[in-house]
Amino acid sequence: MNPTVTGFGQLALAAPVLQALQEIGYESPTPIQAESIPPLLEGRDLLGQAQTGTGKTAAFALPLLSRLDLGMKQPQVLVLTPTRELAIQVAEAFQAYARHLAGFHVLPIYGGQAMDTQLRQLRRGVHVVIGTPGRIMDHLRRKSLTLDALKSLVLDEADEMLRMGFIDDVEWILEHTPPERQTALFSATMPEAIRRVAQKHLRDPREVRIKSGTATVSTTQQRYWQVSGLHKLDALTRILEVEDFDAALIFVRTKTETVSLAEKLEARGFAAAALNGDMNQVLRERTIEQLKNQTLDIVVATDIAARGLDVQRISHVFNYDIPCDTEAYVHRIGRTGRAGRAGSAILFVSPREMRMLRAIEKATRQPIEPMHLPSGEAVTDRRVAQFKQQIIDVVESEDLGFLHQVVSQIENEQDLSAHEIAAAMAFLLQRERPLQLRETREPAASRTPKASPARGRPDTKERRSGKPERARKPAPDDMVRYRIEVGRSHEATPGDIVGAIANEAGIDSQYIGQIKLYDDYSTVDLPEGMPQEVFRQLKQVRVRQQKLDISREAGGKTGDRPLKAKTSTAEKSRFHKAKDKPAAAKARRESQPVKEKKRRQLHLPR
């Protein structure tokens, strides 16, 4: 890495892109980013050799986004990927980095997706296209994808495309792009066939080679839990309750999340505190000292804040949010297993992040074993054992004479046995934190309905189960796209959003249109003509403890139209004031046949 580059602010990226990076929590560029961004910003071709998981998506996405002409809605950037999963992942990264670029559109294109959907979005106009070679060729042959305005082309994981037999397709696509385009080729290895492509199609490229020298401490046990069913916080709590840990370091992506998670853990009875870059040196040193002297057991930190942290009693490192690159993972888990002591590293990974997990295993040259969450019975047993030990410790260390008299009085006055009194006192003692863990399941409204293959709608069995339908919406021309500040990182689902809007703001669920989830925010289509009072109410609604803080998305279909202080009778039928909701719902129920009543009861999320 260029030693003179310590922050993204030094890389001449566009201000909206820098703002997005700050919100996401990126603080300093990885080696591949520091070396690749300057030449790509200058318009130079690039030949990059780096493993998956080194941060190379941001290495090309950030500079290419900074060079876009948003006023021209034609494909200006084309990214070729070997798999549909990578195409989706790269598209989501572009969308996240471009959150403050007004009117920006990115489109992933791959086989297995409906062609008419892709055609419609291409006609609407996109700035960046990301796709697999076969489907890109289909669109070029149809002339539904035109590359006359193409400025930059990226070949991502070129060696993987070679292995999968796509290299001839890649060459065909390259020959159908403007010759003056900028080209960036990234590959983990550089076989002769890939080097020939580079020599033929790249012009005086800047070569960047990042060696992967990462390795982890052999005394550190590495495990992962694939996020499913329980929310991450509940899963983390279970593990903390059952694991024998001395002190734990929990890594999250953003500064705000350090404070939020630490507060939630404190509320659950753990001695936890945040550690982030916004803290002054005095507070930082105090927090670390508390961790050392055992008045604090858990620290929730960002990557930057934890650098240089050396506390021998840290026995566990939790990657609550998966790191953005393999180097960060190695630095994180290096905080445990010090001086030959055994350490434990636990990684939370969602299904879409399994690719990064495999990259980490490859870079560290060590397997990361799957783990099962402790069962409810295991947590209950642990709580009961701790409770028993507390009782024993009190009996051995405290003078209980006065309390003996109180218990005797209760026995005599109320004709109760000592066992009954003890059980009642135990109940009072554990009321705020019950000894018996009650199993909780994810509510039906928060589960995403599966689409039937035929029409992309929930099948009959799913409709009967009460899961919300996502496809129900009025005509697109009558809809406005809104942005809400809750996304996948908050563990939100389309069902959560439908339920919150339908129930809390009183908007009938049939008028809630398409919902798209991104990492830190989402978009939702709602009917045009939303009254001011409904809009104000929606801003305060919470999903997964996160305020929606709804706003009109710039560049949406009708997003530049003003909110209406007065609404027509037809529009009022779409928006029911939350305070009038029970009466309105009752009136609707009484006016519907029995079957229709039952259908609505099943469909309205709770």
* Domain annotation covers residue 3: no
pLDDT at position 75 over 80: yes
Same-domain status, 536 and 419:
no
Q: Which two tokens stand for residue 459?
A: 């099948």
Q: Does 265 lie in the same domain as 395?
A: no
With H, G, I as helix, E, B as strand and everything else as coil, classify residue 150: coil
Give yes or no: residues 175 and 261 share one domain. no
Instruction: Tell me, yes or no, whether 191 lies in a domain.
Output: yes
Task: Answer yes or no: is 527 within a domain.
Answer: yes
Q: Is 142 exposed, middle or buried (0-12, 13-18, 19+ CB in 10 A)?
A: exposed
Structural domain ending residue among the three candidates 352, 374, 396:
374
> Quick one: 41 and 20 in the same domain?
yes
Sign of CA dihedral 455, 461, 467, 468: positive
Give, as one character, the DSSP assignment of residue 563. P
Where are the strands (E) in 452-581, listed by range?
479-484, 515-517, 522-527, 542-543, 546-547, 551-552
Q: For residue 506, is it within any domain?
A: yes
pLDDT digits (tens, 9 = 90+) for 309-349: 778 889 999 999 998 878 788 888 888 876 557 789 999 99
Asked if the model's pLDDT at residue 583 lies above 60, the reply is no
Say if residue 471's pLDDT is above 60: no
**Can you tell me the distance from the alpha carbon of 480 to that of 535, in angstroms, rounded to the nearest whole number?**
12
User: What pLDDT is attached to residue 468?
Assistant: 37
277 and 183 fall within a common domain:
no
Question: 38 CB contacts (<8 Å, ≥6 apart)?
Answer: 11, 12
SS3 of 581-606: HHHHHHHHHHCCCHHHHHHHHHHCCC
437 located within any domain: no
Does the pLDDT at position 46 exceed 70? Answer: yes
22-37 pLDDT, tens digit each: 887 777 888 899 999 9
Q: What is the residue-averaged pLDDT of the chain?
A: 80
> Per the domain annotation, does 438 fall within a domain?
no
249 shares a domain with 268: yes
- Eight-state DSSP code of residue 338: G
Domain that holds residue 462: 444-603
Instruction: Identify which has the larger pLDDT, 266 or 599.
Output: 266
- Reduce the DSSP state of residue 231 to 3 states and report it: coil
Q: Express each pLDDT in 199-249 by its tens digit.
A: 999 999 999 998 765 555 567 889 999 987 668 898 899 899 888 899 999
Shared domain for 418 and 491, answered yes or no, is: no
Query: Do 362 and 388 share a domain, yes or no?
Result: no
Give 347's strand partners.
224, 319
For 104-140, letters b (16+ CB in 10 Å) and e give bbbbbbbeeeeeeebeebbeeebbbbbbbbebbbbbb
Q: What is the mean pLDDT of residues 4-14?
A: 85
Which residues does 457 contact at the CB level (< 8 Å), separation at least 6? 451, 469, 471
Is the same domain home to 159 and 18? Answer: yes
Dihedral sign computed on CA atoms, order 64, 256, 310, 244: negative
pLDDT at 134: 92
Work out the end-to-end distance of the chain between its first and last CA atoms, rounded to an integer number of angstroms. Answer: 51
Last residue of a domain, one of 152, 176, 209: 209
Q: What confidence score (pLDDT) does residue 342 get?
A: 79
Question: Residue 17 sits in a domain of what CATH number?
Answer: 3.40.50.300
Structural domain count of the chain: 4
| 93 C-beta neighbours (distance < 10 Å), count | 20
**Residue 129 counted as domain residue:** yes
Q: What are phi and psi of 534, to 5 degrees?
A: -70, -40
What crossing angle do the helices spanning 255-267 and 232-242 adopt, rounded to 10°? 60
Q: How much is the pLDDT for 443?
A: 34
Q: Are 261 and 352 members of one domain?
A: yes
Give the pLDDT confidence of 152-192 residue by residue, as tens digits.
999 998 988 988 899 999 999 999 999 899 999 999 888 89
Same domain, 230 and 203: no
Calculate ∠ Cα 286-7-97, nearest 5°. 110
Q: Based on the fold, state whether residues 391 and 370 are members of the same structural domain.
A: no
Domain membership of residue 215 (yes or no) is no
